[in-house]
Amino acid sequence: DAGVTQSPTHLIKTRGQQVTLRCSPKSGHDTVSWYQQALGQGPQFIFQYYEEEERQRGNFPDRFSGHQFPNYSSELNVNALLLGDSALYLCASSSDGAYEQYFGPGTRLTVT
C-alpha cells in the first residue's frame, strides 16, 4: 500500500520563474492539503483540495495555486518565485471527514 508520494524531491529555480510540484495521495484518500515549511518553523497551511476544488485556503498570495485531478492527485503551482519561497513543500492526504492527515516526503525548493 503506497503512501503519499511527491515529485520532484529537490528543485532549484531562479527568482521570477514558475514551478509545479506534484502529489499522489495515499490509497483510499480523496483529500489533499499542501503546506509550506520554512527552516526552523512548523508547516504552514496553503490550501486543501477535495472533489477537484479548492475547499480551504491559508494566508498565501494568489501566486500559489493548485489543482486536483479525478484520480485525486494534485499539483501546486507557484508563479513569480521569490527568494522567500525557498522551503520544504509538503503534501498531506486524508479521507474526507477524517481529521488525521498523512504527509509525503516533501519537495525541497530553493529559489536563487
Partner 1 sequence: RKEVEQDPGPFNVPEGATVAFNCTYSNSASQSFFWYRQDCRKEPKLLMSVYSSGNEDGRFTAQLNRASQYISLLIRDSKLSDSATYLCVSNDYKLSFGAGTTVTVRA
Whose grid coordinates read 499522489? 24
DSSP-derived pairing of the beta strands 74-78 and 44-50? unpaired
Phi, psi of 29 (to 5 degrees): -95, 145
Is residue 66 close enough to count as binding partner 1 by CB under 8 A? no
- Site size toward partner 1 (CB under 8 A) is 22
| Segment 77 to 106, residues that bind partner 1, using CB under 8 A | 88, 90, 92, 99-106
Contact 64, 76 (CB under 8 A): yes
| Segment 36 to 55, residues that bind partner 1, using CB under 8 A | 40-45, 48
Three cell numbers written together for 24: 499522489
Is residue 5 close enough to count as binding partner 1 by CB under 8 A? no
- Least distance CB 51 / partner 1 (angstroms): 16
> How many Cα neighbours within 13 Å face the side chain of 98?
14
Q: Which of 56, 77, 79, 112 binds partner 1 (CB under 8 A)?
A: 56
- Least distance CB 89 / partner 1 (angstroms): 11
Contact 109, 85 (CB under 8 A): yes
Is residue 25 close enough to count as binding partner 1 by CB under 8 A? no
The footprint of partner 1 (CB under 8 A) covers: 33, 35, 40-45, 48, 56, 58, 88, 90, 92, 99-106
